[in-house]
Amino acid sequence: MREAIIPVDVLVIGAGPAGLAAAIAAKKQGVDSLIVLEREEQPGGILRQCIHNGFGLHRFKEELTGPEYAQRDIDTAYEMGIDIRTGVTVLSVSPEKRITAVSRENGLQVFEAQAIVLAMGCRERPRGALAIPGTRCAGIYSAGTAQKFVNLEGYMPGRKVVILGSGDIGLIMARRMTLQGAKVLACVELMPYSSGLNRNIVQCLQDYNIPLYLSHTVIDIHGRERLTGVTVAQVDENRRPIPGTEMEFACDTLLLSVGLIPENELSAGAGVDLSPVTSGAVVSDTLETSVPGVFACGNVLHVHDLVDHVSNEAFRAGEMAARYARGERRTGREIPVKDGKGVRGVVPQKLMLDDENKGVDLMFRPDRVYRDHYLTVYADGKPLSSVKKMILTPGEMVVQPVNEKMLAACREAKEITVAITEEKAV
């Protein structure tokens, strides 16, 4: 028996901060039929378990907790009458924008959308992906899984904790576990710099006297049934452990905060081109992917540090999806935006040069820490702007606006490049 196909103008996959903002923006464009599909039982995404504050400083000019931030968009979405369907998991997306999904209430459903917004977020890199030697005992969690146990379910995963990686969730969990009575022995970071926000290093480690070991890693894991300890060693410039620097930590818990990976399996199934650098879709400044009418935003596109940036990006994706759904197509010349020296994963990777393009934010991460360097945007090797930055670090995404004037100056250009330079480019 064939299921009836449900037609929809804009279908948003995911009701985290990106999906919610995209839906709100699409609705504001006057889209009639708009559906948001969310696999969890509630909207809000990962913000639901981020009960710490620090969200919304840019967008709302105040400090909110994760659930408070999410609730503002959830309330707005419901007030606007947006159809958010929770408990629905999308199984596949086809290049023809046919979406299959399942839920307990409705079983298997098939949708056909005019436009799709991909807003599935990201997942944590697990221990297995690092191939850390040792036993495969209980007590090893990604930081986000531990956060879920603590903040949503009210259980402690352990008493004595070592954290590998200094991503933001790991730092937040160092503080959270400490406040709940656990002893956090160390935060161990492979790189010579933290991958987390500086404010989190200060507020989550330094304020609680938790040592941060830079250029160190976990080289062995002990314990047959439950974790009993880890061996930590210093690493050389090639990230290989240095013999003789081993330290033993007796702990029952190892939390991993070693990177986030955009969750793009559905996108790949839809035929969307993915960037090997960001692991997200290759998009134009409209956030449209290589598949016409399929847009991407938030952590599924590239991993952000601040939810405020996610929301802004998603507003644009939602608006563009709505306009696509009602038949608007941009025409103009598209040129690539490329990573120059010191730059990794610039998004968007393409710019459309047309009258409508009034400017765009380029977002990327430096490939290492730079002090007193210049951030330079080139059009065919000719600098459009060159701005001095006191510090650039991989832990903090850089947002570099390209304004209308700069765009006007590259009307004839073949490509745009962003680079980090020692000297001001002239």
Partner 1 sequence: MYDILIIGAGVTGCALARHLCHYQGSIAVIERAEDVADGASKANSGIVHAGFDAKPGTKKAYYNVKGAKMYAKLARDLNVPYDPIGALVIGFSDEDRQTIQKLYDQGVKNGVEELRIIEKEEILALEPNTNPDVACALYAPTSAVVSPYEMTIALAYHAAQNGVEFIFNAPVTKIFRESDQWHVITPKGEFTARAIVNCAGLGADELHNMISDQQVRIIPRRGEYYLLDHTVKCPFSRTMFQVPSKMGKGVLISPTAHGNALLGPSAEDIDDGFDTATTRQGLDFVLEKCRLTWPKVNIRPVITTFSGVRAHPDTDDFLIGQVPGAPDGAFEAIGIESPGLSASPAIAEELGDQIAHYLKLPDARLVKPPVPLLKPFAAMTEEERAAACKENPDYGRIVCRCEVITEAEIRDAIRRPVGAKSIDGVKRRTRAGMGRCQGGFCSPRVAEILCEELHVSPLDITKSGGESYLLVGTLNDIAKEARGHA
In the complex, the smallest distance separating the C-beta of residue 98 from partner 1, rounded to whole angstroms, is 11
Of 252, 278, 250, 248, the closest CA to residue 263 belongs to 278
Task: State which residue, 65 or 103, has the beta carbon closest to partner 1.
Answer: 103
Task: State which residue, 57 or 130, has the beta carbon closest to partner 1.
Answer: 130
Q: Residue 38, Cα to own-chain centre: how many angstroms? A: 17
The residue within the footprint of partner 1, chosen from 5, 80, 108, 391 (CB under 8 A), is 108
**Integer Cα distance of 253 and 41 in angstroms:** 29
Task: State which residue, 136 or 199, has the beta carbon closest to partner 1.
Answer: 136
Binding segment toward partner 1, per CB under 8 A, in 85-93, 313-321, 377-385, 413-421: 85-93
**Integer Cα distance of 79 and 113 in angstroms:** 23
Binding segment toward partner 1, per CB under 8 A, in 105-113, 287-295, 311-319, 358-366: 105-113
CB 166 within 8 A of CB 212: yes
CB 22 within 8 A of CB 117: yes
How many CB atoms are located within 10 Å of the residue 260 CB?
23
CB 298 within 8 A of CB 287: no
159 touches partner 1 (CB under 8 A): yes
Of 206, 210, 209, the closest CA to residue 188 belongs to 210
243 touches partner 1 (CB under 8 A): no
In the complex, the smallest distance separating the C-beta of residue 329 from partner 1, rounded to whole angstroms, is 31
- Strands (DSSP E) found in 17-106: 34-38, 53-55, 64-65, 83-86, 88-93, 98-103
Residues 42-81 as x/- pattern, contact with partner 1 by CB under 8 A: ----------------------------------------
In the complex, the smallest distance separating the C-beta of residue 334 from partner 1, rounded to whole angstroms, is 30
The residue within the footprint of partner 1, chosen from 61, 79, 181, 390 (CB under 8 A), is 181
**Integer Cα distance of 212 and 233 in angstroms:** 13
Helix (H, G, I), strand (E, B) or coil at 263: coil
Task: State which residue, 51 or 406, has the beta carbon closest to partner 1.
Answer: 51
- Sheet arrangement for strand 247-250: 216-222, 229-234, 247-250
Write b or e for each residue in 93-129: b if 16 or more Cβ atoms lie within 10 A of its Cβ, otherwise e. beeebebebeeeeeeebebebbbbbbbbbbbbbebee
The residue within the footprint of partner 1, chosen from 8, 23, 182, 296 (CB under 8 A), is 182
Residues 118-157 as x/- pattern, contact with partner 1 by CB under 8 A: -----xx-xxxx-x-xxxxxx--xx-xx--xxx--xxxxx
87 touches partner 1 (CB under 8 A): yes
Residues 265-284 as x/- pattern, contact with partner 1 by CB under 8 A: x--x----------------
In the complex, the smallest distance separating the C-beta of residue 256 from partner 1, rounded to whole angstroms, is 9
- Interface residue list for partner 1 (CB under 8 A): 1-3, 39, 87, 89, 91, 100, 102-108, 110, 123-124, 126-129, 131, 133-138, 141-142, 144-145, 148-150, 153-159, 180-182, 219-222, 224-226, 241, 252, 263, 265, 268
